[in-house]
Chain A
Amino acid sequence: MAHILTNPYYKDIWSTDEMRDVFKDRHRYQRWLDVEAALARVQAKLGIIPQDAADEICKKAHLELLDVDALKKHLVQAQHTFVPLLKQLEKACDNGAGEFIHYGTATQDIQDTATSLELKDAFKIIFQDMIILEKKLIEMAQKHSSQPMIGRSNNQHTLPITVGLKAASWAAEVRRNIERMKDMRKYIFVGLIHGSTGTMSGLGDRAYEVVEGVLEELGLEMPACGWTGIRDNYGHFTVFLSQAAATISRITNEIYQLSRTEINEFSEPTFNSSIGDNSTRQSLSAQVTSMCRIVVNNAPLALQAMIVEHERDTRSWRLDWHHIPENSILLSKALLDTIYLIDGLEINEEKIKKNLNLLNGQVLSDIIVSRLQKNTGRKLAQDLVNKCLLDAKNEGTAFDEILSSNEEIENFISKQELANLFDYSNHIGQSVRQIDEVVNLSNTQSANDGLFLTF
């Protein structure tokens, strides 16, 4: 097992059982057999193949009934990704029923239709986890809605924000991704039983009934036309996951930054490690950020796969086998870890308070100017405050102390008023209102979330 997603020592750090399961080799083969069985059932119902044959095919279309060793051997010899499985099914079917398997369809029909079924399972898991993450972020936003924290622009301190506003910005972005998923849903759950060049010619006169019947049975939608040489549905799925990964990594990267030793405003949740009783602080935010980079990096591959040639082109198709599972598995684990991180995030209030005043009030200088100019006019106010800033720098004294002891300023602003001006909680602007707006929008938009989980 060379890949990190299957490496027995690392796989549980990089992936979840649940999502790995969706794309597991044997599940994939079973899905292929499920599609064949659905096809046989529908064709028998329409009188295209005998009912006995369909019954036999459905009875035998289970991987555990087939000779997997022979199948593997044949896969290596035939250099074909599908026919060996078909051959084993044919062999397992008694009374000549094997003649009626895969009737009028092509390899890609079975494989792509099964991939769309995988997408559905993956979609559901990711959608649910996004909603949980949004909920946790909203809780965090509301709990800390008015707790001041320093704002940083290009890594330099600037006007304060609140802890809650930071979380609300994340929540709003996660909600936009949820809405993007809802928009995407209508494009991606389509099946394909259209034959090798997409014309349905192998299915006979009642082709439409066959395709509609099979897709209905599998819970997939009917495409406008065959898409053997068109991959925008899968491209859309993967680039969306890449975009969601960029959002997740903005969150986890921020946690990573804010938990560095010098800043120490956030700490990742502590938990007991399995080795002894040592309480270990894991760098989970780093792990998630790197996983997200891989997911982001797969986007160009998925886009390249869209430039398909003619009616079918394996050079595109096989890229999908790489980027769809890898992106789904990594993003799903990244989401789960982020939920865990937000849920148990330690918010170090003391340190946040301390950092807020790291520059001794200099970030509020413009606010002092605005207040002062009411008495002195803008020009003089600016000069006075600039002088204090310069003195603070030259004397190595705190800006707020210098300002408080400036006699000219004392003439206009009382000690009490100055203390209020230097109180950061008076300068959080519309942070609380913005959090409310984010929550309101989420409440409105989430009303139909449930519809996207029932399929």
Chain B
Amino acid sequence: MTHVIDSEFYKHVYATDEMRDVFDPNKRLQRWLNVQAALITVQAKMDLVPRAEADEIVKCCDLDQLEFSPKSNNFCGSDQLLSSLLNAVKTACGNDAADHVNSGVCSQDIQDTATVLEIKDAYMIMLRDLLQIESIIIPMIEKYKSQPMAGRTHKQHGPPITIGFKFAGFAAEIRREIERMKDMHKRIFCGALHGVSGTMLEGGAKAYDIYEALMDQLGLDVAPAGLGSARDNIGEFQVITGMIAGSVGRIVNEIYELSGSELSELHEPLSKAYVGSSAMPHKRNAEVCAFAVAQCRIVQQNTALGLQSMTGEHERDARALNLDLHNLPETCVIMARALAATIQTLDGIDIFEKNITRNLDALDGMLFSEALMFHLAPKIGKQTAHDIILFACKEAHDTQTPIKNVLLAHPEILGVATEADFDEVMVYGKHIGKCVEQSDDVVRISKEASVNDHYFLQA
């Protein structure tokens, strides 16, 4: 197992086949050939290369047909790999055509443009999965928007929320990540044809026409100036991916937390084949969530590398470029798996309503401290009520007495409130604030923002 995303035994846990395929080594070479073929087609259209020879080159830009088997021990860099690939094309297409292979272009142009095509494929998968996560969450918001659940701040119970409101928080954040992906779409899909130092000298007088036509053919955008050492677009993609890992990581981490034995409120769906422990048959580990959290952390860590690859020197700097060779496949493949894991977790998630109700009562009514304070506020003042309840809660906690009883015995409360008053206040469903309205707002905002989603999923 050299790397876990390719491990014979664990690749299904750390990677998805679909995203690994985007970064398949031979696919990458084929993309280089595709860029080459597109270029020659454009050059032929502009009468810069004879038609027949261009056709011959295009025919030869097919990895399966090429005699090409580089030994990894005598290859010392991406540029050399590309040039030996192009030599194979030259050999295959005969002398006349060979002269036209890779003319007016440098190897970084081919590689960077192919990288942008890879990023585009990865982008589509990530965006599609984020949309799917949102679409699974939204019906759950609707279904559970008024069902109370303990709210927790700093791991301590606070005013109740609703199950639907928790999901609304997930959906709102996922929607913002979707919008961030849409925001960067206009910037990050620019390809390159700017030559070795970025001046487009190699393209001659028609350099701009060739560049524009090539990008059009490949479905990419035109950059105002060469991107040789300006790698901020790739950096932005990695930064946003790191943020998506934060948002997705929060969801799976939350489900992991709420699935512990003491809480047992939510749980990822367990399949029939599930095995929790080699020792203890009862174990119900939230394994999928656990892996996904770990994966999100790896992705976030790679963001730092993505930023470092932005500080290249001069017109080209392999110390920066080479980071992306590591970073992009690892980040995208692991992110894709975390996204798939999140879908797997949410789709059919176990919601243990009984435990949720039981946990609400864990503090024997103390969760109503704020509600009780507001109930008492008109009679004795809010800050006074706050202080009385603060001490009453301490006593209730230390003596394991329900808060209601402690308060009813408090001298300043005598004559101010009765048990019946308190019972009327102490109903969880009455204290969910604006959970329902907020849940509705989140659904509405997501729907409004989603009207142009489809545009961003087009290749």
> Which residues of A are in contact with B by a Cβ distance under 8 Å?
90, 96, 98-101, 103-104, 106, 151-155, 158-162, 165, 168-170, 172-173, 176-177, 179-180, 183, 187, 195-204, 207-208, 223-232, 235-236, 239-240, 242-243, 245-247, 249-250, 253-254, 257, 296-297, 299-300, 303-304, 306-314, 378, 427-431, 433-435, 437-438, 440-441
**19 further A-B pairs in the complex, CB-CB below 8 A; given A207-B433, A208-B434:** A101-B383, A151-B197, A158-B316, A177-B232, A180-B183, A225-B168, A230-B169, A232-B176, A242-B239, A246-B311, A253-B313, A296-B307, A299-B304, A303-B300, A310-B155, A311-B151, A429-B202, A434-B200, A437-B224
CA–CA, A152 to B196, complex, Å? 9
B99 within 8 A of A: yes
B439 within 8 A of A: yes
Contacts of B224 in A (CB 8 A): 172, 434, 437-438, 440-441
Within 8 A of A (CB), among B72-125: 99
Contacts of B153 in A (CB 8 A): 106, 196-197, 228, 310-313
> Which residues of B are in contact with A by a Cβ distance under 8 Å?
99, 151-155, 158-162, 165, 168-169, 172-173, 175-177, 179-180, 183-184, 187, 195-203, 207-208, 223-226, 228-230, 232-233, 235-236, 239, 242-243, 245-247, 249-250, 253-254, 257, 293, 296-297, 300-301, 303-304, 307-308, 310-318, 370-371, 374, 377, 381-384, 431-435, 437-439, 441-442, 445
A119 to chain B, nearest CB (A): 16
Q: Is A300's CB under 8 angstroms from B374's CB?
A: no
Q: Is B232's CB under 8 angstroms from A247's CB?
A: yes
Instruction: Say whether, besides A196-B159, A230-B169, A310 and B316 are in contact (CB < 8 Å).
Output: no
Quick one: closest B residue to A377, CB to CB? B99
Contacts of A173 in B (CB 8 A): 230, 232
Contacts of A296 in B (CB 8 A): 304, 307-308
Quick one: closest A residue to B377, CB to CB? A99
CA–CA, A207 to B230, complex, Å? 48
CA–CA, A250 to B7, complex, Å? 37
Instruction: Say whether, besides A158-B315, A311-B151, A224 and B441 are in contact (CB < 8 Å).
Output: yes
Contacts of A160 in B (CB 8 A): 197, 199
CA–CA, A447 to B431, complex, Å? 49
B378 to chain A, nearest CB (A): 10
Q: Is B155's CB under 8 angstroms from A201's CB?
A: no
Q: Is A99's CB under 8 angstroms from B172's CB?
A: no
CA–CA, A434 to B230, complex, Å? 14
Main secondary structure of the interface of A (DSSP, over half): helix
Q: Is A300's CB under 8 angstroms from B310's CB?
A: no
Q: Is A300's CB under 8 angstroms from B207's CB?
A: no
B356 to chain A, nearest CB (A): 13
Q: Is A161's CB under 8 angstroms from B161's CB?
A: no
The 9 nearest A-B residue pairs measured at CB: A151-B197, A306-B246, A197-B151, A201-B433, A429-B201, A429-B199, A199-B433, A312-B153, A152-B314
Contacts of A431 in B (CB 8 A): 199
Contacts of A378 in B (CB 8 A): 99
Q: List 29 A-B contacts (CB under 8 A).
A: A153-B315, A160-B197, A160-B199, A161-B197, A169-B225, A172-B223, A176-B233, A196-B158, A197-B161, A198-B438, A199-B159, A199-B161, A199-B434, A201-B434, A224-B175, A226-B438, A229-B250, A232-B246, A239-B242, A243-B239, A247-B232, A254-B314, A299-B239, A300-B303, A307-B249, A309-B254, A428-B199, A429-B203, A438-B224
The residue from A161, A207, A243 contacting B310, defined by CB atoms under 8 A apart = A243
Q: Is A199's CB under 8 angstroms from B232's CB?
A: no
Contacts of A240 in B (CB 8 A): 239
B112 to chain A, nearest CB (A): 13
CA–CA, A244 to B445, complex, Å? 30
Instruction: Say whether, besides A151-B199, A153-B197, A250-B310, A235 and B246 are in contact (CB < 8 Å).
Output: yes
Contacts of B228 in A (CB 8 A): 153, 169
Contacts of A430 in B (CB 8 A): 199-201, 203, 207-208
CA–CA, A204 to B314, complex, Å? 61
A103 to chain B, nearest CB (A): 7
CA–CA, A303 to B307, complex, Å? 13
CA–CA, A363 to B152, complex, Å? 66
Instruction: Say whether, besides A196-B151, A303-B300, A307-B296, A168 and B242 are in contact (CB < 8 Å).
Output: no
